[in-house]
Structure 1
Amino acid sequence: MKTKINTVQKNINLREFISSKLRQIYCTILFNWILHIKSKQIAVTEKTAIVFAPHQDDETFGCGGMIAIKRAKKVPVNVVFLTDGKRSIPEWIKPEEIIKIRQEEALTALNILGVAASATHFLGHGDATLTQLSHEERRLIITQLSELLKAYKPEEIYLPHRKDRHLDHEATYNLVKDAIALSNLNVEIFQYPVWILWQNPLSSNLKLQEISGSYCISIHTVQDQKKQAIASYKSQITTLPPGFLTRFLSPYEIFIKS
């Protein structure tokens, strides 16, 4: 019986390994295709910005280089985290401890990128709940986001891709878009992909229009900073699929304009 269980477990591990490898290869090919063929390279502007992230780490994965370049030029950048991130670490750790760990990691990472604690905002909404909000809860969050937009008046907004294949990420996009409309702000909107490129090519339903209008920026000058910032998320990077981080260590970042 024990031998049979071990064999089953080995088969499961092998399937997971193969699936992860396929995703990594597909992601690398897709990223490079977008980067070298489908995107237009642009320079990082000196426009003020707000980065909206569903969880502590998304901002660094998707926008860390852009943030560091802007901050090196003394351009104001605020970062807003919508959820508390408490469901990302094994359940035997108390939720309040997870929240504290993730906030500390975020502050460390953003400090490396040049963002002060005073420009970092933790809204503290429940992790994995942004698609389960009541009408009133949703209205309150949109109002909260709108007030931040009115207070800081950013010229650029960065938010997760609208089809990022993660519920909190897609919900963040929709909530921020509604907040922008409520605030009557005239602003450029850039989507950053986190999970959308990480798919099994055998079951991928990615549509080309979902990545149309792509732009890329060179982050060569701050690449080491971004790597250090990513490394600050110790509680997260050890739980990610093998190969997932490779794209984010690239000297380029990709954005899709809304």
Structure 2
Amino acid sequence: MHRSMPPKPFPLEAIEHALVFIPHPDDEALGCGGLLRRLVDAGCNVEIVLVSDGCGGPNHPDNLSAERLPEFARSIRILGVEKYEAWLLPDGCLDQVPDLNERINARIKTSAPDLIIAPWPGDLHPDHAAIGHAVASSPAADRCSVAWFEIWSPLPASHVLDITDLMDVKLQALKAHETALRFGNYLEAMMGLSAYRGINLPYRGAANYAEAYLLRAPPDLPRSRRAPRGG
């Protein structure tokens, strides 16, 4: 009988350069805001690529990009990141962008990071899954570690990051997304998921909060140091 192993603490050591693929404005706060702030505080060079234009999708009555992009800039500043690269690809249609895989592979090859942070390929949202699969199939990504994060679908976590002391920062980053918060109670959802993942941390007699990740190490690492492969 197969027995699942409990998630391990996220290894932050020796990460000097991280490349982050974010599908939409607010996903950075929801999915990996704690990790971004931890990396910045540790002196890591964090590059963010915002993949979609954040317009709300092809069926949305209003083009929300004009509101959401400044909100995204405010959010990442709260998380300690000053700059980002915006590809402005069509929101809700990333799985139909013919050269998405090639663009992501080329960006990884150019950046040559120690760590890639991206949405889990098994995520329910097709935009998230498209980016996740593009990273998973990227030859350039085999040269570095990949940390998949969760948003719409819980992933089979290999590692958790304690963000208890950063929960207020993560909340402030999400609150910067006033437009998105008009369409869903993401604040309570994020708190609930973070508290649920916090169960995997040592109990301290008070609320614990964590972010969960599925970590994939480069194939050439010794097997004893490798985390399960995502996808």
Would you call these one fold, judging by a TM-score over 0.5?
Answer: yes
TM-score, normalised by the number of residues in structure 1: 0.69
Q: Is the 8 A contact 1:216 1:253 kept in 2?
A: yes
Is there any run of 5+ residues in structure 2 with no aligned partner, and where? Answer: 196-208, 216-229
Alignment match, 2:213: 255
Distance 2:14 2:128 in 1: 26
Q: Deviations over 1:38-72 (max 9, x none)?
A: 32223433412111121111121111001001101
Q: Is the 8 A contact 2:20 2:116 kept in 1?
A: yes
Counterpart among 75, 80, 86 of residue 109 in structure 1: 75
Alignment match, 1:81: 50
Say how many residue pairs are matched.
Answer: 198
Q: Is the 8 A contact 2:149 2:212 kept in 1?
A: yes
- TM-superposed CA distance for 1:221, in Å, is 3.1
Distance 1:129 1:254 in 2: 26
Letter in 1 for 2:10: I
| 1:135-154 matches, cutoff 5 A | 137-138=98-99, 141-154=100-113
Counterpart among 189, 193, 212 of residue 244 in structure 1: 189
Distance 1:105 1:249, change over 3 A: farther
Residue 123 of structure 1 pairs with residue 87 of structure 2:
yes
Percent identity, please: 22
Distance 1:167 1:92, change over 3 A: closer
> What secondary structure sits across from 1:256 in the alignment?
strand
Distance 1:158 1:79, change over 3 A: same
Counterpart among 32, 41, 45 of residue 13 in structure 2: 45
Higher relative contact order (CA 8 A, sep 6+): 1
Letter in 1 for 2:174: I
Q: Is the 8 A contact 1:109 1:230 kept in 2?
A: yes
Letter in 2 for 1:187: C
> What secondary structure sits across from 1:245 in the alignment?
helix
Distance 1:171 1:238 in 2: 26
- TM-superposed CA distance for 1:244, in Å, is 2.2
- Give the greater-gyration-radius structure (CA): 1
Q: Deviations over 1:126-147 (max 9, x none)?
A: 01112223xxx23xx3332223
- TM-superposed CA distance for 1:92, in Å, is 4.2
Q: Is the 8 A contact 1:46 1:70 kept in 2?
A: no
| 1:157-176 matches, cutoff 5 A | 157-176=116-135
Letter in 1 for 2:129: E
Is there any run of 5+ residues in structure 1 with no aligned partner, and where? Answer: 1-33, 198-209
Residue 132 of structure 1 pairs with residue 87 of structure 2:
no
Q: Is the 8 A contact 1:220 1:252 kept in 2?
A: yes
Alignment match, 1:100: 66
> What secondary structure sits across from 1:49 in the alignment?
strand
Superposition RMSD on alpha carbons, in Å? 2.4
Letter in 2 for 1:174: H
Q: Is the 8 A contact 2:58 2:91 kept in 1?
A: no
Distance 2:170 2:128 in 1: 21
Q: Which has the higher helix share?
A: 1
Residue 63 of structure 1 pairs with residue 7 of structure 2:
no
